[in-house]
């Protein structure tokens, strides 16, 4: 005989349970996902809400023993027996059906010894409480919440607290909301402790409105709810609001702890407000709070993102406790500022001290290699992840590798890498390829990458703008119009970009297309003054690598210029009137102009022009090249630039040729020469000389001696 409690409410809320079904005898497993077996065996309709578990009470007799016997019925597949008594429901919620039948039966028999998973009319709150706690301790939070919602009973506050804590720990925030809803439905009024738990849940879930409602209802506001609210704002990117809550907390008279400072430092790093960050650091020191790993890492991250490398390293150096988190923060910070040599040193030092790198560590190292253009080094570290450290590369690692190859101009290689990666169906890797194609102006590749990307993530406004800008750079205005029309038709809007700067302890925000800043008019006036400065760029007509009338930056940006064979013809070609209006003259590849000294001397001393000269001071054999060095005595300032050694990442001051070409004047690209440090320059020259000697010895005629 099957009895159903609260018949009226069940029939109102669960259309899957009808009067006819209620009168029919059946044996059934009932779980949170309506299965074909349940619908076939009981002729139940599919419920509108598959998570709704009707509260039923049944007579239980010898059911557990029956389930230990395998069934011969093809329909039941071992889930029930032919001799099972009618009128029984055994509640098994969640992933149990994923296992094999034999494993399922053993597991059921073991757990049924203690009388669990039986929903019956005699189930006491104590029995339910024990069942829910046991499921929590086994990590089966979804099953526990399913049973709780099924019974419609109240449980003690400590059980609710345990369930909420499991949801927070496992980031099952939707499950946590179901617990709150169940409290409301059954009329349970949470105490102060449970309100704080719910506040933490909603804050971590990003539902700050509900978190604020719970916060306002607290009778006593201690440090825990304040910390939860601050962390919730910072986690959602509302850093200014998070700092505002912090200041309210201080006015309330509370002293911050480690968790408060961890959130505050993250907010300062996102806003790049160094002075305020230093003030918070001073408060931390005065409070005599022992910093833990999380606080130390957040503090280092703040200093690094605010461009204070020395302060960030001091925090690391003085930290009493180090682990892979602090090492990864150090490596990431130096990589962010292009200190590739230090990145490699810190990585090796971390290994020598016995710490194994994790996915975050490798992501920082690979990003540093990408920014420095060290393709081979990046490949080496990527390969060592699984080979040496058993660290599985994730989609971000593959995206960084695509960016590394793309920045180096190896677009075909990058495309093949994406196609062969296990994350070729993820938009991140295709997005990285789109960015690389835009830099190097590969229209066909960017179209292929964009097609793949928008198939996977059609609502990404940022990539639509990137693609539109790329088409605009190439002059494909029809494609630009199509992209803009597509965005407008789909309702896709990109959040306006903004920049910020901290001056005199105040942070200034500048939004694209907005005139909201109080000094906007004055700033525009300064920009107009700078805009009307007349500038002309000159380059040698010998350099036609990227076009005759333009120079190209490493980021692919083209600047118009005037190609000349000698500088003496500049005034004539520009025109006397235009020359008089000219204020700044830029000279690129200056080593190729024989009249460089005379031109600069006259332009600066006689005509009052500002002359900016860029050129090599030596050739590939480190001999004086051209007349660039002759300008040093008459120059107002001299800056010697350096690149990155392609072999080790240190500062590169010399050029090593990859070919046997001996001409001094050689205009070529990365396929002919590469920047190297002193050590690799000397080593490379030695190897080249030795190779040359071997080749010459083999080509000499050998006397037979006869």
Q: Which two tokens stand for residue 172?
A: 């099952």
Do the beta carbons of residue 227 and residue 261 sit within 8 Å?
no
Pick from 189-193, 207-211, 674-678: least confident: 674-678
Q: What is the pLDDT of residue 404?
A: 92
Residue 501's beta-bridge partner residues?
A: 508
Residue count of the chain, please give it.
706
| 336 contacts: CB under 8 Å, gap ≥ 6 | 304, 305, 367
Kindly state the tokens that stand for 137.
């301790």
DSSP 44: P
pLDDT above 90: percentage of residues in the chain: 28
Q: Identify whether the C-beta of residue 190 lies closer than 8 Å to the C-beta of residue 183.
A: yes
Tracing tokens 């074909």 back to the chain, one arrives at 36
* Mean pLDDT along residues 661-668: 68
pLDDT at 18: 32
pLDDT above 70 coverage of the chain, percent = 72
| Average pLDDT score, the chain | 75
At 519 the pLDDT is 73
Whole-angstrom CA distances from 6 to 11, 20, 110 are 9, 16, 32
Instruction: Return the higher-pLDDT residue of 50 and 462.
Output: 462
Q: What pLDDT is recorded for position 434?
A: 81
pLDDT, tens digit, for every residue of 550-587? 887 655 677 888 889 899 889 888 888 888 888 899 99
Q: Residue 587 — left, alpha, or beta (φ > 0 → left; ψ -120 to 50 → alpha)?
A: beta
Q: How far apart are CA 172 and CA 163, in angstroms?
A: 10
**Mean pLDDT to the nearest integer, 141-151:** 84
249: enclosing H helix or E strand: helix 239-251
SS3 (DSSP) at 478: helix
Distance CA 309, CA 342 (A): 12
Q: CA 364 to CA 344: how far, in whole Å? A: 11
Question: Which residue has better confidence, 648 or 689?
Answer: 648
Exposed/middle/buried for 93, CB within 10 Å: 0-12, 13-18, 19+?
buried
Q: What is the chain's alpha carbon radius of gyration, rounded to the nearest angstrom?
A: 35
Interacting residues of 614 by C-beta distance below 8 A, sequence separation 6+: 586, 587, 588, 589, 590
Alpha carbon distance 256, 234 (integer Å): 16
In this prediction, residue 211 carries a pLDDT of: 92
Check residue 113 and give its pLDDT. 38
DSSP annotation of 513:
T
pLDDT score, position 28: 30
What are the structure tokens assigned to 335, written together? Answer: 């990589």
* Distance of alpha carbon 243 from alpha carbon 265, whole angstroms: 10
Beta bridge partners of 586: 537, 612
Out of 75-84, 369-378, 434-443, 615-624, least confident range? 75-84
Distance CA 222, CA 225 (A): 6
Contacting residues for 273 by C-beta, under 8 A, at least 6 apart: 306, 502, 507
Q: Given pLDDT bands bounded at 50, 70 and 90, which one contains residue 498? A: low
Higher pLDDT, 304 or 469: 304
**Average of pLDDT values for 107-128?**
50
- The more confidently predicted of residues 247 and 115 is 247
Can you give the pLDDT at residue 140? Answer: 86
pLDDT band at 362 (very low <50, low <70, confident <90, very high): very high
pLDDT at 509 over 80: no
Structure confidence at residue 686 as a pLDDT band (50, 70, 90): low
Query: Which of 480, 423, 434 minimizes the C-alpha distance to 460?
Result: 434
CA distances from 88 to 35, 103, 613 (A): 17, 22, 90
Cβ-contact 34, 16 below 8 angstroms: yes
Per-residue confidence at 15, pLDDT binned at 50, 70, 90?
A: very low
Q: How confident is the model at residue 695 (pLDDT cuts 50, 70, 90)?
A: low
Kind and range of the H or E run holding 95: none
Pairing of strands 654-657, 673-676: antiparallel
Locate 471 and state its tokens: 């088409």
What residues form DSSP beta bridges with 509? Answer: 500
List all residues 6 or more positions away from 599 whose beta carbon is below 8 Å from its beta carbon: 567, 568, 570, 593
CA atoms of 403 and 395, how far apart (whole Å): 12
pLDDT for 118 beyond 60:
no
What is the pLDDT at residue 352?
Answer: 94
| Number of Cβ within a 10 Å radius of residue 300 | 26
Q: How far apart are CA 408 and CA 375, in angstroms?
A: 7
Integer angstrom CA distances of residue 286 from 256, 257, 293, 320, 433: 11, 12, 19, 17, 48
- The H or E element spanning position 284 is helix 274-286
What's the mean pLDDT in 411-429?
Answer: 87
Confidence band for 115, pLDDT divided at 50, 70 and 90: very low
Active-site option among 502, 589, 646, 689: 589
Q: What is the mean pLDDT of residues 303-332?
A: 92
pLDDT at 422 over 50: yes
8 A C-beta contact, residue 220 and residue 192: yes
Mean pLDDT, rounded, for 16-28 = 31
Residue 586 main-chain phi, psi, to 5 deg? -110, 135
Residue 543's Cβ-count burial label (10 Å; 0-12, 13-18, 19+) is middle
Using alpha carbons, select from 416, 480, 422 the residue that is nearest to residue 445. 416
Average pLDDT (507-516) is 64
List the single range of 66-75, 187-196, 208-217, 398-407 with lowest mean pLDDT: 66-75
First-to-last CA distance in the chain?
Answer: 118
Count Cβ atoms within 10 A of the Cβ of residue 166 and give its class: 0-12 exposed, 13-18 middle, 19 or more buried. buried
Q: How confident is the model at residue 544 (pLDDT cuts 50, 70, 90)?
A: confident
Res. 263: pLDDT tops 90: yes
Contact 667, 543 (CB under 8 A): yes
Please report the pLDDT score of residue 427 as a whole number. Answer: 82
Average pLDDT (118-128) is 59
Reply yes or no on whether the pLDDT at 227 is more than 90.
Answer: yes
Roughly what angle, to the nearest 10 degrees, separates helices 375-388 and 395-407? 160
How high is the pLDDT of residue 232? 94
Q: Are strands 550-552 and 558-560 parallel, antiparallel or unpaired?
A: antiparallel
pLDDT value at residue 670: 59
Q: CA torsion sign, 295 to 297 to 300 to 302?
A: negative
pLDDT at 202 > cutoff 90: yes
pLDDT at 55 over 50: no
User: What was the pLDDT predicted at 554?
Assistant: 59
**696 belongs to the catalytic site:** no
Reduced to 3 states (helix: H, G, I; strand: E, B; else coil), residue 488 is helix
Lowest mean pLDDT among 52-61, 188-197, 350-359, 684-693: 52-61
């Amino acid at each position: 005989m099957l009895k159903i409690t609260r018949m009226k409410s069940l029939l109102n809320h669960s259309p899957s349970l009808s009067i006819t079904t209620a009168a029919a005898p059946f044996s059934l497993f009932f779980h949170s996902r309506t299965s074909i077996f349940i619908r076939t065996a009981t002729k139940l309709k599919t419920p509108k809400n598959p998570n709704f578990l009707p509260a039923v009470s049944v007579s239980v007799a010898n059911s557990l023993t029956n389930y230990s016997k395998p069934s011969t019925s093809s329909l039941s597949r071992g889930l029930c027996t032919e001799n099972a008594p009618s009128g029984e429901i055994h509640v098994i919620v969640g992933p149990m059906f994923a296992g094999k039948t034999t494993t399922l039966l053993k597991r059921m028999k073991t757990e049924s010894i203690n009388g669990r998973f039986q929903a019956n009319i005699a189930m006491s709150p104590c029995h339910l409480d024990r069942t829910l706690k046991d499921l929590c301790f086994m990590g089966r939070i979804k099953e526990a919440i399913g049973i709780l919602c099924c019974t419609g009973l109240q449980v003690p506050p400590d059980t609710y607290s345990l369930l909420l804590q499991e949801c927070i720990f496992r980031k099952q925030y939707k499950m946590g909301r179901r617990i709150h809803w169940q409290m409301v439905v059954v009329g349970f009024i949470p105490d102060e402790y449970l309100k704080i738990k719910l506040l933490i849940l909603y804050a971590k879930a990003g539902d700050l409105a509900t978190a604020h409602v719970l916060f306002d209802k607290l009778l006593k506001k201690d440090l825990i709810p304040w910390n939860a609210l601050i962390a919730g704002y910072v986690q959602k990117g509302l850093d200014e609001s998070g700092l505002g809550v912090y200041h309210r907390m201080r006015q309330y008279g509370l002293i911050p702890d480690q968790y408060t400072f961890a959130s505050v430092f993250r907010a300062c790093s996102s806003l790049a407000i160094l002075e305020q960050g230093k003030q918070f650091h001073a408060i931390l020191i005065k409070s005599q709070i022992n910093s833990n790993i999380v606080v130390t890492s957040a503090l280092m991250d703040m200093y690094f993102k605010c461009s204070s490398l020395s302060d960030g390293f001091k925090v690391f150096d003085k930290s009493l406790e180090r682990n892979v988190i602090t090492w990864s923060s150090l490596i990431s910070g130096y990589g962010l500022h292009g200190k590739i040599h230090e990145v490699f040193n810190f990585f090796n030092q971390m290994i020598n001290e016995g710490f194994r790198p994790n996915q975050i560590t490798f992501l920082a190292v690979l990003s540093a290699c990408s920014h420095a253009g060290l393709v081979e080094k990046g490949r080496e570290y990527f390969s060592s992840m699984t080979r040496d450290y058993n660290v599985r590369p994730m989609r971000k690692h593959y995206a960084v590798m695509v960016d590394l190859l793309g920045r180096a101009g190896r677009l075909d290689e990058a495309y093949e890498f994406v196609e062969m990666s296990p994350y070729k169906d993820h938009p991140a890797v295709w997005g990285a390829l789109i960015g690389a194609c835009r830099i190097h102006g590969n229209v066909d590749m960017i179209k292929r990458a964009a097609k793949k990307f928008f198939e996977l993530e059609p609502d990404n406004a940022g990539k639509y703008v990137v693609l539109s800008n790329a088409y605009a750079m190439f002059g494909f205005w029809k494609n630009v119009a199509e992209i803009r029309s597509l965005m407008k038709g789909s309702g896709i809007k990109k959040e306006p970009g903004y920049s910020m700067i901290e001056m005199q302890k105040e942070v200034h925000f500048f939004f694209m297309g907005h005139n909201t800043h109080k000094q906007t008019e004055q700033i525009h006036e300064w920009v107009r003054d700078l805009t009307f400065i007349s500038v002309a760029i000159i380059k040698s007509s010998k350099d036609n690598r990227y076009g005759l009338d333009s120079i190209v930056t490493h980021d692919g940006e083209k600047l118009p210029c005037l190609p000349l064979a000698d500088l003496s013809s500049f005034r004539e070609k520009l025109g006397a009137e235009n020359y008089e209006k000219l204020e700044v003259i830029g000279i690129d590849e200056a080593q190729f102009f024989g009249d460089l000294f005379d031109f600069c001397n006259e332009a600066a001393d006689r005509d009052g022009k500002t002359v900016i000269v860029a050129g090599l001071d030596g050739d590939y054999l480190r001999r004086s090249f051209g007349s660039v060095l002759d300008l040093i005595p008459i120059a107002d300032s001299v800056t010697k630039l350096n690149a990155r050694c392609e072999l080790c990442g240190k500062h590169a001051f010399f050029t090593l040729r990859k070919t046997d070409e001996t001409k001094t004047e050689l205009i070529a690209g990365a396929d002919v020469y590469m920047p190297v440090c002193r050590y690799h320059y000397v080593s490379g020259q030695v190897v080249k000389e030795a190779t040359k000697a071997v080749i010459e010895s083999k080509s000499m005629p050998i006397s037979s001696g006869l």
